[in-house]
Chains A and B, each alone.
Chain A
Amino acid sequence: MAYQSAFAALADPTRRAVFERLRAGPVSVGEIAAGLPVSRPAVSQHLKALREAGLVRHEADGTRRLYEVDPRGLGELRSWLDRFWSDSLAAFKAEVERPRAKAPSTRTSPRRKAPR
């Protein structure tokens, strides 16, 4: 699954360092390699793995190729959290709007409720 390959791709420390280099915006292979103790071909290999994991994408800038973080990376994690919070907010809305005259839910916090 996509999120698994994303985590696996980031398990390599050098690859993680390459990924970190992309945080500020699109950069070329040469620019990445300049700040790291690894060769350009090695950087290219890491970028390839990151692309295959869906974490990085590239675009052409003239004759250069610029790499950037793919915001859809870690998509499985995001979509899971998206659904998690949707369900949670629906439950929250139901509780907020429940008529207060009714008996309180049996699931109560151990803490005293804050005064309104």
Chain B
Amino acid sequence: MSTTVSTPAYVEPVTRSVHVAATPARAFEVFSTGIGRWWIPTHSILASKSPQASVTIEPRVGGRWYERGEDGSECDWGHVLAWEPPRRLVLAWQLDAQWEFDPALVTEVEVRFDPAPGGGTDVTLEHRCLERYGAGAEAARSGLASEGGWSGLLERFRQLGG
């Protein structure tokens, strides 16, 4: 598997996979340009606290990955690192531990769409370069101290998940 990092990973990546009854091309399309149709709307970090209206991945390398609120405000989450339909998509996830966009932080989310032996598509997602969170630890520490920081969000998602 190709990678855009040269340093060894020293925090194990998060890897999840799911089988879908669709072709790789359709799975890729729904995941990327169709992300606004399935993204869980509470997974939102808009500063305005406005309800989430849309999530967008612009279909090209360098394209923005962002959300927009019903009030029109936008929040960047990252950008497209690799756009290789129908088999591979790599996104930069650039949210720091305070849940704010940090252009200096790049963690990577690679999604692969492989034809499954029995039909359909195996979708595999890897979120890596998590060790880079260590570099932002100075900022993270202050964020962690507040309810609105990482711990607050963790708690919020825990409650959502029940």
In this complex, how many residues of chain B approach chain A with their Cβ under 8 Å: the count is 56
> Nearest chain-A residue to B33 (Cβ)?
A114
Tell me the smallest distance from the CB of A95 to a CB of chain B, in Å.
4
Chain A residues within 8 Å of B39, by CB: 88, 91
Minimal Cβ-Cβ distance residue in B for A104: B37
- Closest approach, in angstroms, between the C-beta of A39 and any C-beta of chain B? 23
Supposing A7-B137, A96-B26 touch, asked if A71 and B130 sit within 8 A by C-beta, the answer is no
Query: Are A85 and B125 in touch, CB under 8 angstroms?
Result: yes
* Residues of chain A from 1 to 50 with CB closer than 8 A to chain B in the complex: 1, 3-4, 6-11, 16, 19, 22-24
Interface of A is mostly: helix
- Assuming the contacts A82-B16, A83-B157, asked whether A113 and B140 have C-beta atoms less than 8 A apart, the reply is no
Q: A83-B157, A105-B37 are in contact. Are A78 and B11 (CB under 8 A)?
A: yes
- The reply to whether A11 and B137 contact each other, CB–CB distance below 8 Å, is yes
B residues within 8 Å of A by Cβ?
7-8, 10-12, 14, 16-22, 25-27, 29-41, 43, 53-56, 58-59, 68, 97, 123, 125, 127, 130-131, 133-135, 137-138, 140-141, 144, 150-151, 154, 157, 161
